[in-house]
């Protein structure tokens, strides 16, 4: 695929879509960013970088055909939907199907779909993502599937279900403190997507489980502490604590304890993309600065709530 062919990027104001849109724009490729709010700061930043903005919403099927008109390729990030008990699989699949149908009708030639890393017994990482993957491969001839593990940028904030981030000097998660956990920088997801768009014949039909490093949680917080100059410790959630946050988190903790682990081949990925980032690389490049800012903001808010002086 020549570099003058238009790529539509969904999730463009999010982490994966945003990183991919900026990576493609930096390479001189025309990008149309599908966003729900064209006035959002992340959207205006994309426009300033050269992206064409178009309004689109997965829950408004009628908004999708115009967004995909004339596109040669698509970076697809159908958003997860949540209900009271966790992910809403049917709604997630409905969103993904709407996007795929619109892409097929528009004649999109190549789709890079990003989902969730698989584990033994859970291909595609989740039921919703796997159903979208399968439907995509039925409808579009040339497909590349990316399955990233946990993002390094998750240290910057909590997930929709109240997990991750660093709160009052503590990082909490479901993982044992002394066992390796694979992680990846979203910038590297963008690199693999760019490679797939540049070489569709090479990457069509491939499924890439993506990770860039595998520190233990204890090693990760030690590296963050050193890079930010702030003491951070790790705490593994108990089963009761995980259940209190969300039943799906408790189920994920049980699966992990039973040996259901991510399995990306990091060394093989590094052959494809030699610049694949480790946690230390990400911290040195941007993570430490962002984390220091985040820790300062959360510390200030905590002091304000407690009535303590902020300076």
Q: What is the pLDDT of residue 162?
A: 62
Name the strand (E) or helix (H) holding 236.
strand 233-236
pLDDT exceeds cutoff 50 at 166: yes
What are the Cα distances from residue 31, in Å, to 44, 64, 113, 211, 241? 14, 16, 16, 26, 43
At residue 105 the predicted structure's pLDDT band, cuts being 50, 70 and 90, is very high
Strands across the sheet with 207-210, in order? 52-55, 31-35, 7-9, 73-76, 110-114, 142-148, 207-210
pLDDT exceeds cutoff 80 at 306: no
At residue 232 the predicted structure's pLDDT band, cuts being 50, 70 and 90, is very high
pLDDT exceeds cutoff 70 at 161: no
Share of the chain above pLDDT 90, in %: 79
For the chain, the average pLDDT equals 91
pLDDT exceeds cutoff 70 at 5: yes
Q: Write the burial class of residue 34 (CB in 10 Å: 0-12 exposed, 13-18 middle, 19+ buried).
A: buried
Contacts of residue 163, Cβ cutoff 8 Å, sequence gap at least 6? 172, 173, 174, 237, 245, 249
The pLDDT of 190-197, averaged and rounded, is 98
Q: What is the pLDDT of residue 89?
A: 87
- DSSP per-residue letters across 81-117: -EETTEE-HHHHHHHHHHHHHHHHHHT--EEEEE---
Question: How far apart are the C-alpha atoms of 119 and 156, rounded to whole Å?
Answer: 25
Confirm if 85 and 248 have CB atoms less than 8 A apart: yes
pLDDT exceeds cutoff 80 at 1: no
Strands 86-87 and 82-83, by their bridges, are antiparallel
CATH class of the region 7-151+186-210? alpha beta
Alpha helices in the chain (DSSP H): 15-26, 41-48, 64-68, 89-106, 127-139, 186-198, 200-203, 217-228, 239-245, 247-257, 266-272, 279-282, 288-306
Best-predicted range by mean pLDDT among 20-24, 90-94, 153-157? 20-24
The pLDDT of 75-79, averaged and rounded, is 89
Question: How far apart are the C-alpha atoms of 195 and 203, rounded to whole Å?
Answer: 8
**pTM for the full predicted model:** 0.92
Question: How far apart are the C-alpha atoms of 174 and 239, rounded to whole Å?
Answer: 9
Neighbours of 52 (CB within 10 A): 14
The pLDDT of 248-254, averaged and rounded, is 91
Which of the two residues, 79 and 141, has the higher pLDDT score? 141
pLDDT exceeds cutoff 60 at 307: no
Q: What is the pLDDT of residue 82?
A: 76
What are the Cα distances from residue 122, in Å, to 9, 215, 265? 27, 23, 17
At residue 4 the predicted structure's pLDDT band, cuts being 50, 70 and 90, is confident
At residue 309 the predicted structure's pLDDT band, cuts being 50, 70 and 90, is very low
């Amino acid at each position: 695929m020549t570099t003058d062919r238009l790529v539509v990027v969904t999730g463009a104001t999010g982490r994966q879509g945003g990183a991919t849109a900026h990576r493609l724009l930096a390479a001189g490729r025309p990008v149309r960013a599908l966003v729900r709010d064209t006035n959002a700061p992340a959207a205006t930043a994309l426009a300033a970088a050269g992206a064409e903005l178009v309004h689109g919403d997965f829950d408004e099927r009628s908004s999708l055909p115009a967004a995909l008109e004339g596109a040669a390729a698509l970076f697809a990030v159908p958003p997860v939907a949540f209900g009271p008990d966790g992910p809403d699989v049917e709604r997630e699949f409905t969103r993904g199907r709407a996007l795929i149908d619109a892409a097929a009708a528009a004649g999109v030639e190549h789709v890079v779909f990003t989902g969730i890393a698989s584990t033994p017994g859970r291909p595609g990482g989740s039921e919703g993502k796997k159903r979208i993957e399968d439907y995509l491969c039925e409808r579009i001839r040339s497909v590349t599937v990316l399955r990233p593990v946990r993002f390094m940028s998750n240290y910057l904030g909590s997930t929709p279900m109240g997990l991750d981030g660093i709160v009052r000097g503590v990082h909490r998660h479901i993982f044992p403190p002394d066992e390796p956990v694979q992680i990846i920088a979203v910038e590297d997801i963008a690199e693999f997507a760019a490679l797939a768009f540049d070489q569709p014949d090479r990457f069509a039909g491939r499924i890439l489980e993506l990770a860039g490093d595998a520190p233990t949680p204890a090693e990760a917080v030690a590296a963050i502490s050193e890079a930010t100059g702030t003491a951070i410790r790790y705490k593994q959630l108990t089963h009761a604590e995980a259940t209190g946050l969300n039943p799906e988190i408790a189920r994920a903790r049980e699966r992990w304890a039973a040996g259901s682990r991510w399995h990306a081949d990091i060394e093989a990925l590094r052959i494809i993309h030699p610049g694949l980032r480790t946690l230390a690389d990400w911290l040195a490049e941007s993570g430490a600065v962002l984390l220091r800012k985040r820790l300062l903001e959360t510390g200030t808010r905590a002091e304000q709530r407690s009535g303590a002086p902020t300076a």
